[in-house]
Structure 1
Amino acid sequence: MSNTGLPEPWILKISRSRNRPYFFNPQTHESLWEAPASTNMEALHQYMINEFSVPNSTGLETPSSPKIRVSHLLVKHKESRRPSSWREEHITRTKEEAWDRIHHFENLLKEGVVNINDLAMQESDCSSARRGGDLGFFGRNEMQKPFEDAAFALQPGELSHVVETNSGYHLIQRTA
């Protein structure tokens, strides 16, 4: 592994269209938004903090805002910003039904009946469901404010209470 924490021959690149990091294998030409298997996540996180730095007013380099990684589960309702998902073309559940549903999922997670990744793959209304709810690394001002505030308040491994955004109701688990 290199100082990026990535397994050989993977490298880190920046997407021109999304202005965010992605992972590229120059041998196979495969690209991924999420780090490839066997990545040293601590080394990758430190590399990203060190590499993505910006000059401050003194002209010295300082790390850019810290990046965190979370997995989440989203339950939309008919008043959501975009009331459709990979699971349902037209979401018709009420806010109250969505509230009951997300609290049921919160209880399952707290009781240890299931983990957030498995539950998100089956139940989340977000397209991240296919990745177990993993949203990858992000920094401040990249997510809806209530989501961002809740995510940055968590310690790695910690699960949030229900968070409401314009998209619906979320459960968030910080992973890095």
Structure 2
Amino acid sequence: MSVWEVRMSNSKGLPYFFNTETKQSVWDPPSELSKEEVENLPGAKEHLSSGAGGEGRPGQVRASHLLVKHSGSRRPSSWKEENITRSQDEAVEILRGYQEQIGGDTKKFAELAKEHSDCSSHAHGGDLGFFGRGQMQKPFEDAAFGLEPGQMSDIISTDSGVHLVLRTA
């Protein structure tokens, strides 16, 4: 019986591999496991995307986001700012400016997310990968699932801050 299982990161919205004996977490599949063994781990069917083509499982969407945190965010700090003191209204105004710059340009969205998003997903242009229902905060989930691929949401607010969500698949 394998000591590994697949879990979902709440902060990144990405699957990771957890060793139940050592309590070690790793992003990449354990090297000692074959592809078939990885696919049969507990949690693999729920959390791993099928195939290398970048397609999610049924019931999943893929989205990117641009997050602006504020002083009322559950963790008012980020990779670029240790102590975020702006108000929610100020965060919304900043996001409105980004929204205007983006227009409908998905490349511009990724550029602005990479440069300005308060989420660690900024390193990937805001890409959160595939996720299903129950894996994101409810307002974020509702926005992502309510969009068609290529559509961008208006500003939504969660416990994390204010976001623009771009559904990518």
Aligned mates of 1:153, 1:111 — CA distance in 2: 17
Q: CA 1:131 to 1:81, structure 2 compared with 1: closer, same or farther past 3 Å?
A: same
Amino acid of the structure 2 residue aligned with 1:40: G
C-alpha distance 68-114 of structure 1, shift in aligned 2 (>3 A): closer
CA contact (8 A) 1:70 1:137 kept: yes
CA drift of 1:143 comes to: 0.7
- Compared with structure 1, are the counterparts of its residues 34 and 89 closer, same or farther at alpha carbon in structure 2 (3 Å cutoff)? farther
Q: Deviations over 1:124-169 (max 9, x none)?
A: 0011111111111111111111000010000001111001111111
Q: TM-score, normalised by structure 2?
A: 0.70
Q: Percent identity?
A: 45
* Structure 2 Cα separation of the partners of residues 142 and 88 of structure 1: 26
Tell me the alpha carbon deviations over residues 74-109 of structure 1, each in whole angstroms, 9 at most, x when there is no partner: 000111111000010000111121111010011111
Note if 1:20 corresponds to 2:32.
no
Structure 2 residue aligned with 1:55: none
Task: Name the structure 2 match of 1:40.
Answer: 53
Shift of 1:16: 4.7
Q: Is the CA contact 1:151–1:172 (under 8 Å) kept in the aligned structure 2?
A: yes
Tell me how far apart the structure 2 counterparts of residues 132 and 74 of structure 1 sit (CA, whole Å): 11
Q: CA deviation at 1:40?
A: 2.5
Query: CA RMSD for the aligned pairs?
Result: 3.0
Matched residue of 1:15: which SS? strand
Native 8 Å contact 1:108 1:114 kept in 2: no
Residues 97 and 16 (structure 1 numbering): CA distance in 2 closer, same or farther, change over 3 Å? Answer: closer
Paired amino acid for 2:70:
H
SS of the equivalent of 1:125 reads coil
* Counterpart residue type for residue 153 of structure 1: G
Q: Is the 8 A contact 1:72 1:133 kept in 2?
A: yes
SS at structure 2 position matched to 1:150: helix
Counting only pairs closer than 5 Å after superposition, residues 135-174 of structure 1 correspond to structure 2 as 135-174=128-167
Residue of structure 2 in register with 1:117 after alignment: 110
Amino acid at match of 2:64: S
Contact 2:15 2:48 in 1 (8 A): no
Question: How many pairs align?
Answer: 137
Asked if the contact 2:110/2:125 (under 8 Å) is kept, the reply is: yes
Structure of higher RCO (CA pairs closer than 8 Å, 6+ residues apart):
2
Is 1:100 aligned to 2:113, yes or no?
A: no
Distance 2:159 2:92 in 1: 14
The letter of the residue matching 2:53 is N
Output the TM-score relative to the length of structure 1: 0.67
